[in-house]
């Protein structure tokens, strides 16, 4: 099947599930994207200057482009798109043009129901055109956050670990520092305090690296007031590493997490919000839960999933409840979506 035929078959499934066509812009304001979504996008952007000298970029991600389109038009909250995303990579064999077709639900009112809707719609679309058996792996970023927030350690460490979870190499360095109780040195701490007082004089609504000054000050305040000594780092790191090794069939996730909580003497209710993951059992597919999965895209906040065949990624997506606010919405708008990689079909 050619790409066009594949798209037509997939679109039929999308339409039958109530998704409406949206056509997001190809050219985006690169500085706006970086300010709102963080520096993570900068290295992958293909940028240029328009006739007015403004730095623009080809859309690096169709989810982000669709979010911006939704914020501007506010027409349909359940959309599908088909088009190309353009990203750079250090990998020489990496194709910078990605043909994608995907779906998004903005203003998701029923998290578990909408998460299942997106996964099942993508899966049914793939099944229509794939003869070979595909597999699914899922993770849930919110479970990691729940674990970190339940652990008895300074607030600055919680914020640090959650913020850098999407950067595995640096995250591992943080764990090594936590394990040895090697916190920031006095000079850096004094620099942070100076920044804190300097920022208090700035407009509180100003956006810096995707966050309001008021939000940054709130974090600084917690960091400054936290106790400097902390002796339980080694045990905390052991628990975190143990959690990140969880890899099991979705059908036994309840039991595995229960044993993890029990064996580590944790509070019984730290993983109380399992509804979305448990709801995916209705797929009756070969699904693996991997606690360490979904760390490569910063904006995910809940479930993350991938449909694959062998080593080829067929489709990927997840929940991102904070992205629309970071892109300019006045408040958080729950959302979930996924895209199919047409090249690998």
Q: Which domain holds residue 223?
A: 187-227
Residue 296 lies in a domain: no
| 143 secondary structure, DSSP code | H
Both structure tokens of 208: 């810096």
CATH number of the CATH domain containing 333: 3.30.930.10
Residue 261 lies in a domain: no
Q: What are the pLDDT tens digits along the chain (345 aa)?
A: 556 788 888 999 999 999 999 999 999 888 887 776 666 667 778 888 988 889 999 998 899 899 999 998 887 899 999 988 888 776 666 678 888 899 999 999 899 999 999 999 999 998 887 766 889 999 999 999 999 999 998 888 999 899 899 889 999 999 998 988 766 554 555 566 677 777 788 888 888 766 788 888 777 776 655 554 566 889 999 999 999 999 999 999 999 999 999 999 999 889 988 888 999 999 878 899 999 998 878 889 999 999 998 888 899 999 999 999 988 898 999 999 999 988 887
- Burial of 222: CB neighbours in 10 Å, binned 0-12, 13-18, 19+: middle
Residue 94 lies in a domain: yes
pTM above 0.85, yes or no: no
Residue 210 lies in a domain: yes
Question: How close are the terminal C-alpha atoms of the chain, in Å?
Answer: 9
Residue 86 lies in a domain: yes
With a CB cutoff of 8 Å and minimum separation 6, the contacts of 310 are none
Residue 138 lies in a domain: no
Residue 178 lies in a domain: no
Return d(Cα 39, Cα 56) in angstroms, integer: 15
List beta partners, residue 85.
98
> Where a domain ends, among 173, 196, 227?
227
Both structure tokens of 338: 């996924």
Residue 264 lies in a domain: no
> Where a domain ends, among 227, 251, 277?
227
Question: What's the domain count of the chain?
Answer: 2
> Where a domain ends, among 227, 250, 275?
227
2 and 104 housed in the same domain? yes
């Amino acid at each position: 099947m050619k790409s066009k035929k594949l798209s037509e078959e997939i679109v039929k499934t999308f339409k039958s599930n109530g998704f409406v066509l949206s056509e997001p812009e190809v050219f985006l304001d690169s500085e706006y994207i970086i300010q709102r979504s963080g520096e993570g996008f900068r290295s992958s952007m293909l940028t240029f200057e328009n006739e007015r000298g403004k730095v623009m970029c080809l859309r690096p991600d169709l989810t982000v482009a669709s979010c911006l389109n939704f914020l501007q038009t506010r027409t349909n909250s359940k959309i599908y798109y088909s088009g190309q995303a353009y990203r750079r990579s250090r990998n020489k064999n990496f194709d910078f043009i990605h043909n994608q077709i995907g779906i998004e639900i903005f203003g998701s009112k029923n998290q578990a129901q909408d998460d299942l809707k997106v996964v099942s719609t993508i899966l049914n679309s793939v099944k229509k055109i794939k003869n070979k058996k595909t597999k699914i792996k899922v993770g849930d970023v919110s479970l990691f956050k729940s674990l970190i927030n339940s652990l008895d350690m300074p607030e600055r460490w919680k914020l640090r670990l959650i913020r850098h979870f999407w950067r595995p190499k640096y995250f591992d360095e943080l764990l090594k520092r936590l394990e040895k109780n090697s916190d920031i040195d006095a000079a850096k701490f004094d620099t942070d305090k100076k920044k804190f007082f300097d920022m208090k004089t700035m407009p509180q609504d100003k956006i810096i690296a995707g966050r309001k000054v008021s939000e940054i000050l709130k974090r600084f305040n917690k960091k400054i007031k936290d106790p400097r000594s902390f002796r339980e780092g080694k045990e905390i790191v052991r628990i975190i590493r143990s959690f990140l090794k969880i890899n099991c069939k979705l059908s036994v996730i309840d039991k595995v997490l229960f044993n993890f909580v029990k064996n580590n003497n944790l509070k019984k209710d730290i993983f109380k919000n399992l509804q979305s993951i448990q709801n995916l059992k209705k797929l009756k597919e070969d699904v693996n839960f991997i606690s360490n999965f979904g760390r490569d895209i910063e904006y995910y906040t809940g479930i993350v999933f991938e449909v694959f065949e062998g080593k080829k990624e067929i489709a990927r997506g997840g929940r991102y409840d904070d992205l629309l606010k970071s892109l300019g919405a006045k408040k958080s708008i729950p959302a979930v979506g996924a895209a199919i990689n047409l090249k690998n079909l």
